[in-house]
């Protein structure tokens, strides 16, 4: 497989297994990425506090701080750093673990063992989503007390920024391209870790908590039974 175009893309790889960490660093470097590696959560935090990364790859099961906790900490950071895309790697492939990773703010989830080419393709897909811009309708849409800037991919409430993951930004942008029109759940799922649509459901739940006055009775991010979801801005 030819290396993808990755000019100046900086990745952080965090895994306590020296062999896997070195192999990932070598493979991703050969495919055009600039790669920094860390053996655990403490070292990763220091790097994330001082350097900018386009994407982070976290192993879930690490001694000390696990990948779930590290992702949660990252999502609490302010500004662009808190929106750094995260791909989680783990030997635990159960659906519950995938959903937990998404709840913490991960953008994708790859169970071990995996083919290096699949990892590369998933990284490429996440980076595409992070760069995506809507084809039409650029501007700011009003969602009650919240405003979503389509061009910047930023959500705010009364002028205060609200942290979004890259997956949440991509989902909001897609729904905002067709306001007041339902978008098929499986269409939305094609860009997520789980083609069944469960990942989309998790992201919608997270977004409702950030946008809606009453997440259990959503006004703006609505469910269309048997179809999917629609965004109903003011």
pLDDT confidence of residue 167: 85
In a domain, 5, yes or no: no
Are both 171 and 196 inside the same structural domain?
yes
Q: Given 131, 149, 173, which residue is the final one in a domain?
A: 131
Q: What are the φ and ψ backbone dihedral angles of 103, each rounded to 5 degrees?
A: -60, -35
Strand partners, 228: 184, 224
Note down the domain range covering 50: 10-131
Of 14-23, 98-107, 157-166, 191-200, the least confident: 191-200
Structural domain count, the chain: 2
pLDDT tens digits, 73-129:
998 887 777 889 999 998 766 677 778 888 888 988 888 888 999 999 999 988 887
In a domain, 2, yes or no: no
More confident residue, 139 or 157: 157
**Percent of the chain scored above 70 by pLDDT?**
90
CATH number of the CATH domain containing 157: 1.10.10.10
Q: Given 107, 131, 155, which residue is the final one in a domain?
A: 131
Q: Which of 159, 165, 126 is nearest to 145 (CA)?
A: 159
Are both 14 and 127 inside the same structural domain?
yes
CATH number of the CATH domain containing 55: 3.40.50.2300
Are both 145 and 216 inside the same structural domain?
yes
Position 38 confidence tier, pLDDT thresholds 50, 70, 90: very high
In a domain, 4, yes or no: no
Q: Mean pLDDT across the stretch 20-40? A: 94
pLDDT confidence of residue 4: 47
């Amino acid at each position: 497989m030819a290396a993808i175009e990755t000019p100046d893309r900086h990745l952080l790889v965090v895994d306590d297994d020296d062999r896997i960490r070195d192999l990932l660093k070598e493979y991703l470097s050969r495919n055009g990425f600039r790669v920094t590696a860390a053996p655990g959560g403490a070292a990763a935090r220091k790097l994330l506090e001082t350097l900018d990364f386009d994407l982070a790859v976290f192993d879930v099961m690490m001694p000390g701080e696990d990948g779930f906790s590290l992702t949660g900490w990252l999502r609490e950071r302010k500004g662009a750093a808190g929106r750094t895309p995260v791909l989680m790697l783990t030997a635990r492939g159960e659906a519950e673990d995938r959903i937990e990773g998404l709840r913490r703010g991960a953008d994708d989830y790859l169970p071990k063992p995996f083919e290096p080419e699949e990892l590369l393709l998933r990284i490429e897909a996440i980076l595409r989503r992070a760069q995506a811009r809507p084809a039409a309708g650029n501007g700011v849409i009003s969602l009650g007390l919240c405003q979503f800037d389509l061009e910047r991919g930023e959500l705010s409430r009364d002028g205060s920024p609200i942290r979004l993951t890259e997956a949440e930004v991509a989902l909001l942008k897609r729904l905002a391209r067709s306001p007041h029109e339902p978008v098929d759940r499986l269409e939305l799922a094609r860009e997520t870790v789980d083609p069944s649509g469960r990942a989309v459901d998790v992201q919608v739940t997270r977004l409702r908590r950030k946008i809606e006055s009453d997440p259990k009775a959503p006004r703006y991010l609505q469910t269309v039974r048997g179809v999917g979801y629609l965004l109903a801005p003011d």
